[in-house]
Amino acid sequence: MNVIVTASGDIDPSCHVFQSGVPVLIVINEEGARLLGTDRFPPSIAVMRASESGRITPRLILAAINRVRASHLVLLEGGPRLLAGFFADSCMDEQFLTLSPQIAGRDDHSQRPGLEVVCPALACLSY
């Protein structure tokens, strides 16, 4: 199950994740739910209001996940604020950290976009 956490409600219902058939849970606060308009999603997408307004804490996120599907293991792939919240609330057991000495990409001659095409500033990085 994919879980998307948003307080802003700024989600595009046409994104592939909502069309893929994989179960999705959107964890949101009441204010974000009003902006999101939950009627724009198919019935297979579960929307769980975790708080009335403001911050959606890691404990509220985990409680929402467990209401939909009992889970003993959750993989967190979020931004720095979400990750920091899980550390601060002692809701993280392990961290998997991958370090890479280089960034791989393609040049402008490839049909598929690579990091150099998407972010030209990376070309000036030295390793």
- Kindly give the confidence (pLDDT) of every residue in the chain, 127 residues in length, as a single tens digit, with 9 standing for 90 and above: 999 998 888 888 888 888 888 899 999 988 888 888 766 777 778 888 887 767 899 999 999 999 999 988 899 888 888 888 898 899 988 888 777 666 666 666 666 655 544 444 444 444 3
Beta-strand runs (E) in 1-127: 2-6, 24-29, 45-51
99 contact partners, CB below 8 Å, separation of at least 6: none
**Domain boundary assignment for the chain:** 2-88, 97-127
Whole-number pLDDT of residue 24: 92
d(CA 10, CA 94) in angstroms, rounded, equals 30
- φ, ψ for residue 2 (rounded to 5)? -90, 135
pLDDT of residue 104: 62
Q: Output the pTM of the full model.
A: 0.70
Q: What's the Cα-to-Cα distance from 13 to each of 44, 56, 96, 98, rounded to whole Å?
A: 12, 21, 30, 31
